[in-house]
Structure 1
């Protein structure tokens, strides 16, 4: 990650990003909600990667060095909040569910029009809705152990790689038992859970580029399109055909 800019106030507003573009590393002294009403957006920190379609938003706590990357033509709605406004008490980035009402509140709040009293009322309702927004574990943590990082890199290069943890371990010089322990200790999930997260990340990126669902399922390693659709629906609340 490049040297971050320091912006004390987290901006509120709409940013339209072209496919493959983003916002370079920066931090601000306020919290921020990052929501892509169109397209798919990822937030990258030294702790990992978070990615969200239009049914989810990403919470970025104050002081977090982060950068954004857009996949597909992306409308990014940014909501800056003072450090006192943290209805979920989150101290690390998180992916939050965005229902229809919260979506409209975010979009309306990021418009430039409206007097201060009206915007204050709108923000109060937005925070109330956010307080009841469930968190989703759509997160790829960054490994520190070199052996674990090597396994993660192999699968990131080819998420359809179907090798077992034992077979991958043989390539990087670590036992299945050691790698399994490292997945739990460093990434706080099992190997199958992490691989599903990785495949969902790649699937969102491919879908944003217009790749057909059947091809996405194949390229990301699912046994069938129906298996992919089932996992996607359970994670994001809608089918991949509706993504974006």
Structure 2
């Protein structure tokens, strides 16, 4: 990422170690997995990033951010280039103590505060108040991650692999039963046992997971719905909201909040 110069350290007791901001076009498509002892806040004004933190995937579209506690391995991929900010924080002085990765909204005021803190001198009289307000504005959101459990039993793992590769596959368990040489009753029992979900619910999770990545690349809601197996966009929107708590437009870089 092409950064503006990192901010100079704040005065003693500042919760912010550094602020970096820049465009993602100069970083690799894949961000290597790494960890560091201090927590960080990644926020997007124009980029769309698919982050991998621990065993979860998070989509970070414009107008959103992700809190990553210290020690968590994280990496990811840039789905849509744009501006990104990263704050590294002092564990001892940071008022945020979340122990799990946490999504946050990054509205205009929070973006302007980050810009202000990036540009002012360490002992600027407005720094303390700016830092206090920044952390006051960080409010946890409903999680933006979709976890898809992959079954191990070979009779259902074959089905899972096909659907992960082709989420628009419309076949039901009666069709799959013939292909994998197992009864519908057996498959109906194995899916909850292996994934915790019925076949229909698991397939919906797969479709929404695939949809989030397409939306993050700028694919329209209608085209995304078709690509993941929904004939009618209204049915897709309903399923998407049920799984994520948000509308597809929240994840679409073309519809997301921009500076």
Tell whether 2:255 aligns with 1:242.
yes
Task: Provide the alpha-carbon RMSD of the alignment.
Answer: 3.6
- Residues 40 and 204 of structure 1 are in contact (CA less than 8 Å); yes or no, is this contact kept in structure 2? no
- TM-score normalized with structure 2 length: 0.69
Give the Cα–Cα distance (whole angstroms) in 1 for the partners of residues 116 and 149 of structure 2. Answer: 34
Tell whether 2:21 aligns with 1:14.
yes
Which deviates more, 22-31 or 42-51? 42-51
- Residues 207 and 228 of structure 2 are in contact (CA less than 8 Å); yes or no, is this contact kept in structure 1? yes
Go from structure 1 to structure 2 and tell me whether the alpha carbon gap of 1:108 and 1:230 turns closer, same or farther (over 3 Å shift): farther
Go from structure 1 to structure 2 and tell me whether the alpha carbon gap of 1:121 and 1:211 turns closer, same or farther (over 3 Å shift): same
Give the Cα–Cα distance (whole angstroms) in 1 for the partners of residues 151 and 114 of structure 2. Answer: 36
Give the Cα–Cα distance (whole angstroms) in 2 for the partners of residues 124 and 90 of structure 1. Answer: 17
Give the Cα–Cα distance (whole angstroms) in 1 for the partners of residues 181 and 38 of structure 2. Answer: 41
Query: Any gaps of 5 or more consecutive residues in structure 1?
Result: 1-8
Tell whether 2:120 aligns with 1:114.
yes
Q: Deviations over 1:4-28 (max 9, x none)?
A: xxxxx98531142239714211111
Aligned to 1:175: 187
Structure showing greater radius of gyration is 2
1:91 CA displacement: 2.2
SS at match of 2:100: coil
1:166 CA displacement: 7.4
Give the Cα–Cα distance (whole angstroms) in 1 for the partners of residues 198 and 114 of structure 2. Answer: 34
Go from structure 1 to structure 2 and tell me whether the alpha carbon gap of 1:141 and 1:230 turns closer, same or farther (over 3 Å shift): closer
Go from structure 1 to structure 2 and tell me whether the alpha carbon gap of 1:40 and 1:128 turns closer, same or farther (over 3 Å shift): same
Give the Cα–Cα distance (whole angstroms) in 2 for the partners of residues 142 and 60 of structure 1. Answer: 23
- TM-score normalized with structure 1 length: 0.72
Tell whether 2:91 aligns with 1:83.
yes
Go from structure 1 to structure 2 and tell me whether the alpha carbon gap of 1:48 and 1:151 turns closer, same or farther (over 3 Å shift): farther
- Which residues of 2 match residues 122-161 of structure 1 at below 5 A? 122-130=130-138, 132-140=139-147, 143=150, 145=152, 152-161=160-169
Of 213, 219, 232, 2:227 maps to 219
Query: Any gaps of 5 or more consecutive residues in structure 2?
Result: 1-15
Provide the aligned length of Structure 1 versus Structure 2.
Answer: 228
Of 29, 50, 66, 2:74 maps to 66
